């Protein structure tokens, strides 16, 4: 059996920010066909900050916990700050993930970045390339 931290279990059992934003400013979806996890992030931007972040995730407990944590970490941040959220930061915030579930933390950060890039495309200009 896979051992999850208390924080992973808490975010899995009581995920934050689940749902979609009907008039989202940006939407990003990513999936991993190998494990079947699919994540879609919806963002609302106000004054250059993420005023709201919601997600819909189809996947394992780790994928749901990661989505919940990414949404919490991103809310209120500027687009550039949110873009800096990495899979390692997400895993650390959750108190670690088992090695075979680390790919889930990649998906959360990737889906958030995809939503930010979608927003930037819609609102003039090309998405910023990562440094």
- Residues with a known catalytic role: 35, 104
Reading the block at residue 125, the tokens are 């200009």
Place of tokens 């997400």: 90
Place of tokens 């990495």: 86
69 Cβ contact partners less than 8 Å away, ≥ 6 residues apart: 7, 11, 90, 93, 94, 108
Are β-strands 26-32 and 37-46 bridged in parallel, bridged antiparallel, or unpaired? antiparallel
Reading the block at residue 104, the tokens are 């889930």
Interatomic CA distance for residues 130 and 82, integer angstroms: 12
Interatomic CA distance for residues 103 and 88, integer angstroms: 10
């Amino acid at each position: 059996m896979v051992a999850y931290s208390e924080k992973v279990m808490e975010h899995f059992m009581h995920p934050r920010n689940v749902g979609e934003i009907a008039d989202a400013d940006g939407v990003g979806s990513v999936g991993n066909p190998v494990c079947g996890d699919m994540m879609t992030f919806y963002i609302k931007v106000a004054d250059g900050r993420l005023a709201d972040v919601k997600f819909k995730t189809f996947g394992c407990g780790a994928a749901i916990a990661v989505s919940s944590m990414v949404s919490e970490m991103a809310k209120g941040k500027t687009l550039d700050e949110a873009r800096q959220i990495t899979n390692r930061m997400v895993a650390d915030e959750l108190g670690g993930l088992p090695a075979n579930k680390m790919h889930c933390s990649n998906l959360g950060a990737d889906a958030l970045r995809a939503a930010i890039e979608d927003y930037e495309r819609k609102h003039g200009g090309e998405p910023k390339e990562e440094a």
